Amino acid sequence: MDRLQEFVALLEESSGYMSGQLLAQKAGISRSAVWKHVRKLRQCGYKIESLHGQGYRLAGTTEYPVPWELAKLLNTSFVGRGGMVYRESAESTQSIAIALAEKGKLDAVVIAEQQSGGRGRMKRKWLSPRGGIWLSVVLKPAVPTVTSTMLPFVAAIAVCDAIREATSLAATLKWPNDVMVAGKKTAGILLDLSAEAETVNYAVIGIGINANVDVSKLKMNREGRPAVTSLKDELGHGINRLHLTRLLLEKIELFYLALEKKGPAAIIAEWRKRSDMMGKKVSVMQQESRYEGIVADVNDDGSLRVRTARGDMDVTSGDVLVSY
């Protein structure tokens, strides 16, 4: 990745074409390596023109969330400052991030263009084709273990606000960690936590956003779960994933700091503002049982209060299907 970053910088230095020979000399690589670098950068979304006898010219930068471009734009004090890992393809960004966390590499971000083994809630498979934003953030929370359960709510608020700002779509939140557009799921969050008693060793927040994804590639058995959509499908055009990723990471830091300073009640209050579940009819599915009711509230511990014919129930796990 460092070599690619250096190669991009060389192309940016020139206002016109630069010969392959000169690029090879400046980069300290072979002529064949020049072509490999050009091909790789094109795969990363850069527009590089080539002209016989003149060489190569950078005709347009990328909108992919590549780490060196993201680092230029990112305005955070700790999120992403522990390093960024970028993969063309990975089994799971969450697995890579957990491995980094175990080695003490905190505040890192892992991004992949596609995942072959992405995970969702309750060990479900999360389909992650090209065009989405698939990333994991490693944090060292300075909050008690019990408070760290608020991190998925922090991430959901961050995703919701980033989507709203980047696209003007009316994104909303669905309990416990889904981000919805037009009543359809467009993003999800996963939390892996390592803790001992009251001390959190690390937290890894996994986030998947169907950004420029072809929804037809996301077909799967969704019984009891909402339909899916992508930002591209809702807008009718693709979005700048680099811009959206920057916004997302900045907002994760913003709301994480709010959790540290103001506590869980403040985060739940922000979550409520972005949810349209209140007062809606829902079906709650927990293992073999199913019951219906009306959403009354989200409690400060993150549980969902549902008003049923038998009285109020606090839901802490399971699937909740909303009647939009």
pLDDT grade for 194, boundaries at 50, 70 and 90: very high
Q: Tell me the pTM.
A: 0.91
Architecture of domain 2-60: Orthogonal Bundle (1.10)
In the block, residue with structure tokens 């989507």 = 163
Could you check whether the bond before residue 176 is cis, i.e. omega within 30 degrees of 0? yes
Out of 1-5, 134-138, 161-165, pick the least confident.
1-5
The pLDDT tens digits of the residues spanning 264-283 come to 999 999 999 999 999 999 99
Taking 80 as the threshold, does the pLDDT of residue 189 lie above it? yes
In the block, residue with structure tokens 């922090």 = 154
Distance CA(266)–CA(77), nearest Å, equals 22
Out of 61-75, 114-128, 238-252, pick the least confident.
114-128
Taking 60 as the threshold, does the pLDDT of residue 188 lie above it? yes
H/E/C letters for each residue in the chain? CHHHHHHHHHHHHCCCCECHHHHHHHHCCCHHHHHHHHHHHHHCCCEEEEECCCEEEEEECCCCCCHHHHHHHCCCCCCCCCCEEEECCECCHHHHHHHHHHCCCCCCEEEECCECCCECHHHCECCECCCCEEEEEEECCCCCCCHHHHHHHHHHHHHHHHHHHHHCCCCEEECCCEEEECCEEEEEEEEEEEEECCEEEEEEEEEEECCCCCHHHHCCCCCCCCCECCHHHHHCCCCCHHHHHHHHHHHHHHHHHHHHHHCHHHHHHHHHHHECCCCCEEEEEECCEEEEEEEEEECCCCCEEEEECCEEEEECCCEEEECC
In the block, residue with structure tokens 């994104």 = 171
Taking 90 as the threshold, does the pLDDT of residue 171 lie above it? yes
pLDDT at 117: 65
Q: Which residue has the higher pLDDT, 117 or 101?
A: 101
Token duo for residue 112: 């992949």
Mean pLDDT computed over 110-130: 74
The pLDDT tens digits of the residues spanning 214-253 come to 887 665 545 555 688 999 999 999 999 999 999 999 999 9
Mean pLDDT computed over 65-84: 95
Distance of CA 247 to the CA centre of its chain: 10
pLDDT grade for 121, boundaries at 50, 70 and 90: low
The pLDDT tens digits of the residues spanning 33-50 come to 999 999 999 999 999 999
The pairing of strands 319-322 and 281-286 is: antiparallel
Architecture of domain 281-322: Roll (2.30)
pLDDT at 310: 87
Mean pLDDT computed over 49-70: 94
CATH entry, 67-274, from 3.30.300.130, 3.30.930.10, 3.60.20.10, 3.20.20.70: 3.30.930.10
pLDDT grade for 123, boundaries at 50, 70 and 90: low
Q: Where are the domains of the chain?
A: 2-60, 67-274, 281-322
The pLDDT tens digits of the residues spanning 285-323 come to 887 788 899 999 999 999 999 999 888 989 988 888 887
pLDDT grade for 12, boundaries at 50, 70 and 90: very high
pLDDT grade for 116, boundaries at 50, 70 and 90: confident
Return all residues near 119 (Cβ < 8 A) that are at least 6 apart.
92, 94, 125, 126, 190, 206
Mean pLDDT computed over 163-184: 95
Q: Which residue has the higher pLDDT, 168 or 217?
A: 168
